[in-house]
Structure 1
Amino acid sequence: MSHRTQRTLLVTGASGQLGRRVVELLLAAGEDTIVAASRTPEKLADLAARGAAVRKADFDDSASLDAAFAGVERVLLVSTDALDVPGRRLAQHERAVAAAVRAGVQHVVYTSLTNPGPEWPIAMAGDHGGTEAALANSGLSYTILRNNLYTDFLLQAAAQAVASGQLVNAAGAGAVGYVTREDCARAAAAALASATSGPAVLDVTGPELVTQAQLAAILAQLSERPVAHVNVTPAQLHAGMAGHGVPAALAEVLVGFDRAIAQGTLAVASDAVERLTGRRPAGVAEFLRAHRAALVGA
Structure 2
Amino acid sequence: MTENLLVTGASGHLGRAVVNHLLDAQKIPPASVIATTRNPENLADLAARGVSVRAADFDDQASLEKAFTGADRVLIISTGELDLKSDRRLRQHKAAVAAAKAAGVSHLLYTSMPNPEPTSPVLFAGDHYGTEQAIKASGIPYTIFRNGWYQENLFLALPQAIASGKWYTSAADGRIAHVARDDMAAAIAASLASGSKESQIYTLTGPEAYTTTEIAAMVSDVTGKPLEVIQVPDEALTEGVKAAGLPEDFARIIVSFDANTRSGRIAMVTDAVETLSGRKPRTLKQFLEANKTALLG
How many angstroms does 1:180 deviate by?
A: 1.2
**1:70-109 equivalences in 2 (<5 Å):** 70-84=69-83, 85-109=85-109
Deviation at residue 190 of structure 1 after TM alignment: 0.8
Paired residues of 1:70 and 1:103 also in contact (CA < 8 A): yes
Spell out the pairing of 1:203-282 with structure 2 (5 A cutoff). Answer: 203-282=203-282
Following superposition of structure 1 onto structure 2, how do residues 189-208 of structure 1 map, counting pairs within 5 Å?
A: 189-208=189-208
Of 6, 9, 15, the residue aligned with 1:10 is: 6
Match of 2:28 in 1: 31
In structure 2, the CA distance between the partners of 1:174 and 1:242, relative to structure 1 (3 Å rule), is same
Show CA shifts across 1:227-252 (max 9, x none): 22111111111111222222111111
Runs of 4+ in 1 over 3 A off after TM superposition: none
What SS does structure 2 have at the residue aligned with 1:126? helix
Contact 1:59 1:65 in 2 (8 A): yes
- Matched residue of 2:168: which SS? strand
- Name the structure 2 match of 1:113: 113
1:20 maps to 2:16: yes
Kindly indicate whether the alpha-carbon contact (under 8 Å) linking 1:176 and 1:261 is maintained by their aligned counterparts in 2: yes
What is the CA-CA distance between 1:186 and the residue it aligns to?
0.8
Q: What CA deviation, in whole Å up to 9, does each residue of 1:240-292 have, x standing for no partner?
A: 12222221111111111111111111111100000001111112111111111
- Shifted more, 188-197 versus 159-168: the winner is 159-168
Contact 2:123–2:256 (CA under 8 A) maintained in structure 1? no
| 3-state secondary structure, aligned to 2:138 | coil
Q: Is the Cα–Cα contact under 8 Å of residues 43 and 53 in structure 2 kept in the other structure?
A: yes
Q: 2:9 is matched by which residue type in structure 1?
A: G
User: Identity across aligned pairs (percent)?
Assistant: 46
**Which residue identity lines up with residue 180 of structure 1 in the other structure?**
A
Secondary structure of the structure 2 residue equivalent to 1:210 = coil
Distance in 2, matches of 1:256 and 1:45, equals: 37
**TM-score of the aligned structures, taking structure 2 as reference length:** 0.95
Aligned to 1:157: 157
The alignment's C-alpha RMSD in Å is 1.3
Match of 1:58 in 2: 57
Question: Normalized against structure 1, the TM-score is what?
Answer: 0.95
Q: Which residue of 2 aligns with 1:133?
A: 133
Question: Contact 1:27 / 1:51 at 8 angstroms: preserved in 2?
Answer: no
Which position in structure 1 is the counterpart of 2:68?
A: 69
The residue identity in structure 2 corresponding to 1:155 is F
Paired amino acid for 1:87: D
- Which letter maps to 1:48? A
How far is 1:156 from its partner? 4.1
Q: Which amino acid aligns with 1:67?
A: K
Residues 22-58 of structure 1: CA deviation (Å, up to 9, x unaligned):
1111122331310010111121111101111011111
Mark the runs of 5 or more structure 2 residues left unpaired by the alignment.
none
Q: For structure 1, which runs of at least 5 residues remain unmatched after alignment?
A: none
Aligned to 1:48: 47
Count how many residue pairs are aligned between Structure 1 and Structure 2: 293
